Amino acid sequence: MTGWLRILKLSVKNLLMHPLRSGLTVLGIFIGVSGVIWLLAIGEGIGRASEEQIAALGARNIIVRTIKPSSDEVQDAGYGLTRSDYMRLLATVHTIETAVPIREVPQEIRYRTRKFEGRCVGCTPEYAEAARLRQAAGRFLCDADLIEERNFCVLAAESAERLFPFGNPLGEEIMVDDEFYRVVGVMQPRAPSSGIGGSLAAEDYSRDVYIPLTAMQRRMGDMMVVTKPGQFQRDLFELSQITLQVKDREQVLQTVDVVRDTIAREHTLPDFGVTVPLELLRQAQTTRLMFMLFLGLIAAVSLVVGGIGIMNIMLATVTERTREIGIRRALGAKRRDITRQFVIEAVVLSVVGGALGVRGGLLCRPISVRIRQLLLAWFPDQMADLPEVVRTVEPILVSWSIPLAFLISAIVGVLFGVYPAIRAARLDPIEALRHE
């Protein structure tokens, strides 16, 4: 035991004789090890964030959305999901618990002299729960509003802010498409959802105005007219989306097929898309695994590069210390004594690098947050263009990455230290003694 301690002490002494050289070698391993931990943590963060987003859509949900077919197919006929699709689904698919139809139309929203380009959403009372909106003031739409086709509306947080920066919006009347609607409620701000694949694009809920679906049908009809400079566009569609909630999670996948068939039967155009969060969730889990493997591989490459650095330095050291090796051999050192000495020096380098790397890896979260803050402060415009996930990702330390990275660094030390050490031990003692 004291023998090992002695060799260890000697190794440290030898390494400290060239502090810069040893330091740079350690740096190589440091970067490799913290790289492994960082990349895995970031991968985990991104993966978990997207899984959470998908899970937020509800694992029991099936989301059917209208997709506008290419324009020459549409002509003037309508397209998309219809109210009869909705009724048929409710009536025929018995595994469905609730179904929430909505229709979204971009509209100019006005209150007296204030106005803004918002999104008018015709919906049913269940929508608040399906989209997980929370009430800030007043109430959401109720069944009676729908039955009586009342001109009532509920404002999203930013909509309320824009129209009523100072006063209380409740009870006021706003104008949408030349009709007046009384404000009965205001919702809390809701973070925008990002596009997660399937037929779902990123959605921004902040400028919404919610009105009863029946009122929308009565006042606006099914024709959506968009006029922009140099462009006049008409769209005829009944519903934008139907969110279905299945009774049991186990039934989701079978239900999807039934839903798809039920709708397709009445549609000649490919004008709807079905998104299944559960399927996406499973896909995301596989993708994440691949992603992490890939990141791990990149980091492993940098560790190998660090290992080559060790090998390089150790080879130089062996040449430089040929005479010392000769002296030690002459004084009775066996080949394995020499091998051990050099392997241990290499392992000391890599383990010190590994330990520092783990330390650096643990700082992953605070450092990445700091970096993001700096980037946001220095390049706000460029950062705004980045995808949501990149801007908000929180790295999550993967617990097994720490022992793994450390172990790899130690293995790298042995692996890349052995060859130079064997070369050192193979030196002929007489030749080595003569070496200047």
Site for another protein in 401-430 (CB under 8 A): 429-430
Query: What is the Cα gyration radius of the chain?
Result: 33
Binding mask 350-369 for another protein (x = CB under 8 A): --------------------
Q: Does 273 bind another protein (CB under 8 A)?
A: no
Amino acid identity, position 80: G
Structure tokens at 54: 């998908």
Structure tokens at 400: 């097994």
CB 266 within 8 A of CB 81: no
The residue (of 7 and 383) whose beta carbon lies closer to another protein is 7
Q: How many CA atoms lie within 13 A of 44 on its CB side?
A: 16
The residues, ordered by sequence, that sit 6+ positions from 220 with a Cβ below 8 Å of its Cβ are 105, 120, 177, 179
Stretch that binds another protein, among 12-20, 125-133, 140-148, 272-280 (CB under 8 A): 12-20
The residue (of 14 and 255) whose beta carbon lies closer to another protein is 14
- Residue 251 is given by DSSP the state G
CA 390 and chain centroid, separation: 7
Stretch that binds another protein, among 1-9, 50-58, 355-363, 416-424 (CB under 8 A): 1-9
Report, in Å, the least distance between residue 386 CB and another protein: 53
- Residues 3, 167, 171, 380: which binds another protein (CB under 8 A)? 3
Q: How far apart are CA 188 and CA 282, in angstroms?
A: 31
The residues, ordered by sequence, that sit 6+ positions from 348 with a Cβ below 8 Å of its Cβ are 8, 11, 12, 15, 413
Q: Does 65 bind another protein (CB under 8 A)?
A: no
Q: Count CB neighbours of 14 within 10 A.
A: 18
CB 29 within 8 A of CB 354: yes
Q: How far apart are CA 241 and CA 101, in angstroms?
A: 6
Stretch that binds another protein, among 13-21, 158-166, 345-353, 371-379 (CB under 8 A): 13-21
**How long is the chain?**
436
Q: How far apart are CA 315 and CA 411, in angstroms?
A: 18
The residue (of 73 and 431) whose beta carbon lies closer to another protein is 431
The backbone torsions φ and ψ at residue 191, rounded to the nearest 5 degrees and listed phi first, read -65, 140
Q: How many residues bind another protein (CB under 8 A)?
A: 23
The residue (of 150 and 329) whose beta carbon lies closer to another protein is 329
Q: Does 60 bind another protein (CB under 8 A)?
A: no
Report, in Å, the least distance between residue 328 CB and another protein: 7
User: Which SS3 state, helix, strand or coil, does residue 172 take?
Assistant: coil
Cα(first)–Cα(last) distance of the chain, in Å? Answer: 34
Site for another protein in 285-344 (CB under 8 A): 323-324, 326-337
The residue (of 91 and 430) whose beta carbon lies closer to another protein is 430
The residue (of 77 and 331) whose beta carbon lies closer to another protein is 331
Strands (E), 8-95: 61-66
Check residue 178 and give left, alpha or beta (phi > 0: left; psi -120 to 50: alpha).
Answer: left
Report, in Å, the least distance between residue 355 CB and another protein: 24
Report, in Å, the least distance between residue 313 CB and another protein: 17
The residue (of 360 and 429) whose beta carbon lies closer to another protein is 429
Q: Does 59 bind another protein (CB under 8 A)?
A: no
- Residues 315, 362, 410, 433: which binds another protein (CB under 8 A)? 433
Q: Does 159 bind another protein (CB under 8 A)?
A: no
Report, in Å, the least distance between residue 327 CB and another protein: 5
User: Which residues sit at the interface with another protein, rule CB under 8 A?
Assistant: 2-3, 6, 13-14, 17, 323-324, 326-337, 429-430, 433
